[in-house]
Amino acid sequence: MKTTNYILAIVFLLSVNVMFAQKVEVNSKKSNIDWLGKKVLGQHNGNIQLKSGYFELADDKITEGEFVIDMTTISCADLEDEDYNRKLVGHLKSDDFFGVKNYPTANFVVTESSQFIDGKATLTGDITIKGITKPISFEVEIMGDEYITTLKIDRSKFNVRYGSDSFFDNLGDKAIDDIFTLDIKLAVE
């Protein structure tokens, strides 16, 4: 009898946790992803649009979630000359960089989260770029109706080799940093 009561108590607790999980849809139109890439003699920055995203909250934790980035929307904000801007964006979309024709999206899937304490939590998950999936952990902060984070991603781990001194010797001042930064603001509906 004690075993039956114990099992019923566990089932009840699990179902209560599931009942109180809240699915949160991300508003892709109000969300923002800014990128920054550096090279020896300068840097470039721009934007990429979120295609879709959601996460579930329970017990002050993100229990699951998935975010899809539309790689076809890569834009450059710092080059005012239209020809140079178009050339850079075209190069970023080419197979030298993100191969957008074959890999039009990148995504992140939550696998684990700490509880939010003082509006901050650590997320762990799998990020996929160019069909290659790698684990990543980072801190996320709640500010009003936005979830904010900064990701530093090593492009060389995703076969983005152009101008990388991890793969090529003697690049000198033509070398492009392997680490690029994404400043992300996800607006919730």
Give per-residue pLDDT as tens, 1-33.
555 554 444 545 444 444 578 999 999 999 999
Give per-residue pLDDT as tens, 50-71.
999 999 999 999 999 999 999 9
What's the CA gap between 161 and 123, in Å, rounded? 27
Q: Which residue has the tokens 């762990």?
A: 124
What six digits make up the tokens of 144?
A: 């009003």
pTM above 0.85, yes or no: no
Q: How many C-alpha atoms does 122 have within 13 Å on its Cβ side? A: 5
CATH architecture designation of domain 22-188: Beta Barrel (2.40)
